[in-house]
Structure 1
């Protein structure tokens, strides 16, 4: 709902060639989240974005099979993903399928909160998105599985620590209909051109650019 209310019109005003939309995951995870009703909101948004003529890229949710607690609502995520694919087919959009990324079952693909992706996870998803668009890229997609050398006791101790630091606050926010992003301003609130400056190779030791 926030994306539709706050981001759709500014996106359309940009007259984009490509629109990527990854949305609905937090709504599905919330208690009482209905994957069908959420998909209806997505469908209406995509219908409006289709009129721009831009290429549309829609993301499914990841397979949370091995995620503590959240794994219990894996079926809701699967239903939502099927709805995403249906919306994509209806509006001729491209699907970036995170559910199919088996690499995301590796622990190093997730941040310490086990709710968000790590830098390595984001890079793997970025590579998958580029592959979905048939865009060549140099991103490394080889993932070496991490070997879990913890004892059972050590693993359970870390689970308890994770539950205190991350799971309990997350559950409380869901019950209060709050987001961890509430009150946080965006790094780039306005849609402006992004340019990355390259290092000045002509500078010598001790020189500086101003």
Structure 2
């Protein structure tokens, strides 16, 4: 075999920095009392299994718009000199009446460009159609499609790895989502981490994250259940929007420095 034909070993990522909103922060996987885990933590754990020297920082804060992620998280991320960064944002933007797909994608692309220009490998995700889980969110389908299309174009321009959760029907299975239907459940966070690992072609990764869950009886969608969800989750969210507030007000990144990764069980 020609030496040039030898398989190239995957890059070793020892400085991983995660940027984003609540999904990257880990909301839905653990809680604020016992601690959050989340897809970024789970990806960091996989990296640490490959190399115990891995260090990881998570700059994400819930409720942040893509422009806020760019303004608040990109400078400290660059200062940490990552060799791997994940950038996941835009869902908070597309839920706003003033959503502009080009503007949101522009913020994401600016982060892709800055991080790859600084030598980091960057990974991101596309978003599933939440309207399949939240009937009142069905009008957002066109926005999600538009944003995903722009993410793909920007990612290709900057050699960013894309975890295509939008193309995996399993990501509309309610078991991958928390009770609020807005954040991933622990199982959902695990699948997102596996999707990103696969997009990065990490050793041991594969496309098993796309596989459907075992069948189960379809849960009943009763009017009472929908009203309870509206009162418990959508109502408070709308209330914060009307008051100009965010779930992330007063919050800071929970892991702002590169630290060794503790491997979790399970």
TM-score (norm 2): 0.67
2:118 counterpart residue number = 52
- Pick the aligned partner of 1:107 from 174, 188, 191: 174
Show CA shifts across 1:126-154 (max 9, x none): 1111111111347974522432253x6xx
Question: Gaps spanning 5+ residues in structure 2: where?
Answer: 1-66
TM-score (norm 1): 0.84
Count of residue pairs the alignment pairs up: 195
Kindly indicate whether the alpha-carbon contact (under 8 Å) linking 1:106 and 1:146 is maintained by their aligned counterparts in 2: no
- Pick the aligned partner of 1:144 from 214, 224, 236: 214
Q: Which has the higher contact order (CA 8 A, sep 6+)?
A: 2
1:208 counterpart residue number = none
Question: Gaps spanning 5+ residues in structure 1: where?
Answer: 200-210
Kindly indicate whether the alpha-carbon contact (under 8 Å) linking 2:127 and 2:144 is maintained by their aligned counterparts in 1: yes
Task: Determine whether 1:83 maps to 2:160.
Answer: no
RMSD: 2.2
Kindly indicate whether the alpha-carbon contact (under 8 Å) linking 1:109 and 1:118 is maintained by their aligned counterparts in 2: yes
Deviation at 1:110, TM superposition (A): 0.9
1:125 counterpart residue number = 192
Kindly indicate whether the alpha-carbon contact (under 8 Å) linking 1:31 and 1:174 is maintained by their aligned counterparts in 2: no
Deviation at 1:65, TM superposition (A): 3.2
Output the CA distance in 2 between the equivalents of 1:3 and 1:185: 12
Output the CA distance in 2 between the equivalents of 1:44 and 1:198: 33
- Pick the aligned partner of 2:96 from 6, 27, 30: 30
- Classify the secondary structure of the residue corresponding to 1:134: coil
Output the CA distance in 2 between the equivalents of 1:171 and 1:59: 26
Kindly indicate whether the alpha-carbon contact (under 8 Å) linking 1:88 and 1:95 is maintained by their aligned counterparts in 2: yes
Kindly indicate whether the alpha-carbon contact (under 8 Å) linking 2:125 and 2:164 is maintained by their aligned counterparts in 1: yes
Kindly indicate whether the alpha-carbon contact (under 8 Å) linking 2:80 and 2:258 is maintained by their aligned counterparts in 1: no
Kindly indicate whether the alpha-carbon contact (under 8 Å) linking 2:124 and 2:196 is maintained by their aligned counterparts in 1: no
Show CA shifts across 1:20-51 (max 9, x none): 10011111111121111111122222221121
Show CA shifts across 1:101-123 (max 9, x none): 21111111111111111111111
Higher Rg: 1
Greater strand proportion: 2
